[in-house]
Amino acid sequence: MRKRIFIVYVASFLIPCHFLAGQKPQVLNHTLQDSVAFLKMELIRLKTQNKLISSKLDSLISDLNQKRELVEAESNLQQLLDEADQLSVMEKGKEEDLSKKFQSGVRQQQGLNPNISLGGDFFGATSLSKHEFISDPGEISYGNNGFFLREVELALEAPLDPFTRGKTFISITKDAISIEEAYMEWLNLPLNMNLKIGIFYSEFGPLNRYHDHALPQFDRPRALVNLFTNKGLGGTGLSSSFMLPEIIFADASTLDLTVVRGTDTGNNFSFDNNGFLYIGQFKNFYDISQNSYFEVRISSVTGKNPSPGDNFSYVGSLGLTYKWVPVGREKYRTFDWKTELLYSSRIEDTRTIRSKGFYSSVQNKLNARFWIGARIGYSELPYDNRHHEWDYTINLDFWQSEFVFTRLQYQYNRRNIQSMEPYPSGFLPDDHTILLQVCWAMGPHKHEAY
């Protein structure tokens, strides 16, 4: 390009000089100006042409780079595909090898250890009445007018394998060491079923599955105590739980069927002569909103009673639960309401005794540390419906942490119950009680619901 510019420049200068030799100076001057102008125009044209050629070269270089990158990407992709094929062949070889080897499937080292927890439940109480029926710990009373370590609970929990899990709770008191619950569950069986075997509390109403330290108030409602004692309804046996297909208006439904051989309650059921309890519960769950839900339980239990002869008792229950937990505020606000209506029929040789009872319990979380709760209940005795009692309770709970809480509770019991042996004859007195409870937990098993 530079050579062409030089030739044009020389030609434009020499040719006019040759032809204009001997011309007058004025004519020569005009001719030279025209040659310079022509040279400038030619230079401009060449520059423009140079820019076009440069632009085309840049475009060609860019296309070549893109094609090179595309070729490299295709080469890398092919390399990855080849490596994947090789890995697939290797995995297939491993599977073939594994199929020829025995695999134990057991957990290794630390995974063999269950989650171990230890909890304590201490309380002190004082009442206006000094009656032994109230003061002495037993099946009806936890104790009063003194300090008591109600229970030390040792909990062991672990998944046994992907299909089963085991739980054991050992209760240690001043007088005895006993197994509170010890059972194994098979999970996700056909028909959407779970199967439980061992010693356990039965699915019956909103509160029966709770251990004492996890109750919303210190004690169980009198309507449950007079039917099943303060030990709850349960025993040794077999339980199955079915997740049912969706029913209109319900978000989830379950059916629980249980057969257990429990301990003699002394009130409504007896287990002599191979007596068993047959328990069923149908539960519907409803999502009201993202912050609240409602639950309905229909429960029943039947078994032999302590009266002479081969007679049975029946207890039916309607349990209602409402819980409100605002999303994002659950650490500071929660409202929980539980109510249960109970009806009992006790067949004897000469008559049938029908009794009823109920309780309604609320808990309201005031902030991150404090709860306030209250309960009202009424109960007729299953063996004599002429005798009954009311219980009124209010409590304030302080949760130092999820592992430690302290409860201050006031309770008033109004009774129309005649005393029995071994206590002095006469009617049991009404009673005002103030109680201080402290619970603590060491380990992952805390004071949650069951």
What's the whole-number mean pLDDT along residues 348-377?
Answer: 95
Per residue in 102-123, pLDDT (tens digit) is 555 555 556 678 889 999 999 9
Nearest CA to 423 out of 128, 135, 126, 127 is that of 135
d(CA 150, CA 199): 21
Break the chain into its structural domains and give their ranges. Answer: 123-442
Instruction: Specify the CATH class of 123-442 in words.
Output: mainly beta
Structure confidence by residue, pLDDT tens digits, 248-286: 678 899 999 999 987 655 567 876 656 799 999 999 999
Six-digit token string for 255: 């059916």
CB 142 within 8 A of CB 230: yes
Task: Read off the pLDDT of residues 206-238 as tens digits, 9 standing for 90 and up.
Answer: 999 999 999 999 999 999 999 998 888 999 999
Question: pLDDT by residue (tens digit) across 187-209?
Answer: 999 989 999 999 999 999 999 99
CA quadruple 200, 238, 227, 131: dihedral, nearest 10: -30
CA-wise closest residue to 306 among 274, 275, 277, 269: 269
**What pLDDT is attached to residue 20?**
45
Q: What is the pLDDT of residue 19?
A: 46
pTM of the predicted structure, to 2 decimals: 0.73
